[in-house]
Amino acid sequence: MKTLLDQYAENGEFTPEEKAKLKPFLNKFATILVKYQISPNQITLFSFILGIFCFIFLSLGMIYIALIFFILNRFFDGVDGTLARLKKPTDLGGFYDIISDFLIYALLPFGFILFDNDNFLSMSLLLTSFIGTCATFLTTAWIFEKKKIKIEQLSKKSFFYSEGLIEGAETIILFILMFVFYEVASFIAWIFALLCFLTAIMRVVKVSKILNSIN
């Protein structure tokens, strides 16, 4: 079966049907990267470096510069996925991508603590809630693989975020709110942490129901 990249190589461009399979905003940029033979893993590394700069500027109190680097980090995180789907998603690429995401998301609350010690309690709770969402995400993926439970999205991505109140888009929005309204970042972090804990609980309940139904 031909990948989108194979079809692009044959035709020199994507058909409207092929373009519909890609995110419109990322389509043109990823297509340029294909021409220059840039790999998804290279983009993942670049995205991770942008995230590190975001953390550094955040910890130094340069909030809006940090916000710019965060937006760039999230943009290129989307680019690497789009680029991977043009070629073919790989387990190694998904492995790098998810580690990069988790590390950056863990560094940001720490950056807010370094920026303002008054954020210590709320950001510490947020980090704890991240452990809950990460643990339930990873164990859910492991159980689904072990039990051979099929999810349609798994055929399109190398990994799949389990459903819940807080997923990729919600995480990005809440972090942006924390940057923009940094005076009340601690309050936003409390809400963020609560939603993460609820997401973890929802996943536990869902997986429990699935396993009880098949055992």
Residue 21 has pLDDT above 70, yes or no: no
Q: Is the Cβ–Cβ distance between 169 and 176 less than 8 Å?
A: no
Residue 52 is encoded by which pair of tokens? 């590190």
Q: Which of 69, 74, 90, 60 is nearest to 25 (CA)?
A: 74
Mean pLDDT of 40-55: 95
Residue 13 has pLDDT above 60, yes or no: no
Residue 33: its pLDDT value, please?
82
Residue 48 has pLDDT above 50, yes or no: yes
Q: How far apart are CA 100 and CA 122, in angstroms?
A: 23
**pLDDT tens digits along 163-188:** 566 777 889 999 999 999 999 999 99
Query: Which string of b and e fits 63-75 if b means at least 16 CB within 10 Å?
Result: beebbebbbbbbe
User: Between residues 38 and 214, which one has the greater pLDDT?
Assistant: 38
| Mean pLDDT of the chain, nearest integer | 81
Residue 61: its pLDDT value, please?
95
Residue type, 84: A
Residue 9: its pLDDT value, please?
41
Domains and CATH numbers, the chain: 4-214 (1.20.120.1760)
Residue 13 is encoded by which pair of tokens? 């461009």
Instruction: Please give the model's pTM, rounded to 2 decimal places.
Output: 0.79
Residue 11: its pLDDT value, please?
47
Residue 197 has pLDDT above 70, yes or no: yes
Mean pLDDT of 178-203: 94
**pLDDT tens digits along 98-144:** 899 999 999 999 999 999 999 999 999 999 999 999 888 888 877 77
Residue type, 94: G
Return the H-helix or E-strand segment holding 66.
helix 63-87
Residue 85 is encoded by which pair of tokens? 């789907």
Mean pLDDT of 54-71: 97
Mean pLDDT of 17-28: 58
